[in-house]
Amino acid sequence: MKKIIKAISVLLSAVLLISALLLISFASPASGINLSFSESYDGNTVISVILPPSDKLTAIDFSITLFSEKAVIESLSTENTDISDMIYDFDSLPEDGTENGFFTYTESKKADSISFSGFFLDSFSTNDRLHLCDILISSEEEFNENELLRLSYTLSFEENSITDSSTYSLLHKDLYNKEKNKSYPSGDADLNGKTDSSDARRILRASVGLDILSLEESPYADSNCDGRITATDARFALRFSVGLEEAELHSYSISLEQGKTCAEGGNYTFTCGITGKSFTMDIKNGGHIANAADCLNTGNCKICNEVILPAAGHKFDENGFCSECKADKNLIDEATEMLTPLLEEIHLYDTLAEESLLMNKYKDFISNTQEATKSIRKAADICDGIAGMEKVNENLMTAYSIRFNAFASLMDENGGILSSAGSCNVILKAVKESNQYIELATA
């Protein structure tokens, strides 16, 4: 009898564990929006925008920017997609929602970018991948290594949101990474693509403190992947060099324990994207590996994100064009001049909204905040497509997205905003968060 009871207990525990895992796996998307590439009947490129299985999705907002001198974005289409039957126009919303709520969307197109935003009046869940739309890109010539697509998006759920971006290669039709092909064999301490006797000698010297390996060299010098540089690693490197053993090919990503910087060092974890092997090494003063700085972006360490190189700033020539990024000073000055009254307008509406809230005038609070949100979008549109204003535009669009998603989460079945203290708290939180990005845009 005891054995039967024990067996039932084990079975119930297993059922509960499986149920918990299923719930966890469906709690939020496994990853964000991703792109799938194919060719159209006329040889142009079709990019399908795909959303993984999601639970309690309330809003979608994404933009795709094309970096190419030859290709152009022709169109964004929702025909024959998973949401084609769910879309309604903002100006003709039905009075009653459907069983699962309905989805509204807006689409905007610039010369080199296209955006898509929409929301569900009831939260939406799906066990399958969701085909959102198709984007057509045409080009008379073949793509090269420098032609890219940047995807930026915000997905909002009932409890949280995901904001992220990724870059894709038009040539390889997959995620772009300049260093994705950078791989080296075990024991290749000088990272020249081969393991020879000089690597073995250097590893041996490093093992007794007579040589110092850089942060990038260290994982490859650790021939046996045990987290230490010793004479054993030198022995392996020597055997690899004369063909007594075959050296594995590695491509390591590097991460540092939280709260540390590369200047002080600490426990670095090296993970190979080819073999899956992972180990930790304690390295003091590992040194930074900096990204390149440009006119607008600082050169941050790839590992600890500390700023290593300052942004260079624009270098305008006598014609008003930046010699580095080709930004047009006249366009930047015009955009800045147009932004000034809009930023004042945003501040004014936010002030009126705050006063309305103090007087418990919820409708006035929501109306003023909506007007401020529209002004943020106008400000972002002014900067869109102007070289040298990308960071301003990105921060303004983030601010707009935060507010837009807050409103979307509070829409009733008739498309109106719920006016209550609870609704105002949601929007007020979004206003405070979005204003941080407006400050970044104007810094």
Token pair for 69: 């001198």
The SS3 of residue 247 is: coil
pLDDT tens per residue across span 208-264: 988 888 888 999 999 999 999 999 999 999 999 999 999 998 888 888 888 888 888
Residue 298: inside a domain: no
**Range picked from 12-21, 100-109, 158-167, 178-187 for highest mean pLDDT:** 158-167
> Same domain, yes or no, for 171 and 199?
no
| pLDDT at position 314 over 60 | yes
**Does residue 255 contact residue 269 with C-beta atoms inside 8 Å?**
yes
Residue 306: inside a domain: no
> Same domain, yes or no, for 360 and 227?
no
Domains contained in the chain, number: 3
Residue 312: inside a domain: no
| pLDDT at position 165 over 90 | no
| pLDDT at position 94 over 60 | no
> Same domain, yes or no, for 200 and 88?
no
Query: How are beta strands 87-88 and 34-39 bridged, if at all?
Result: unpaired
CA atoms of 415 and 121, how far apart (whole Å): 7
> Which of 175, 200, 227 lies at the terminal end of a domain, its last residue?
175
Residue 136 neighbours by CB under 8 Å, 6+ apart: 40, 44, 45, 46, 47, 73, 74, 75, 76, 77
Q: What average pLDDT is seen over the chain?
A: 80
> Same domain, yes or no, for 168 and 53?
yes
Residue 314: inside a domain: no
CATH of the domain at 371: 1.20.120
> Same domain, yes or no, for 350 and 425?
yes
> Same domain, yes or no, for 154 and 243?
no
Higher pLDDT, 323 or 247: 247
Domain that holds residue 251: 184-284
Residue 3: inside a domain: no
pLDDT (mean) for 352-379 = 90
Q: Model pTM?
A: 0.44
> Same domain, yes or no, for 119 and 218?
no
> Which of 155, 175, 195 lies at the terminal end of a domain, its last residue?
175
> Same domain, yes or no, for 195 and 252?
yes
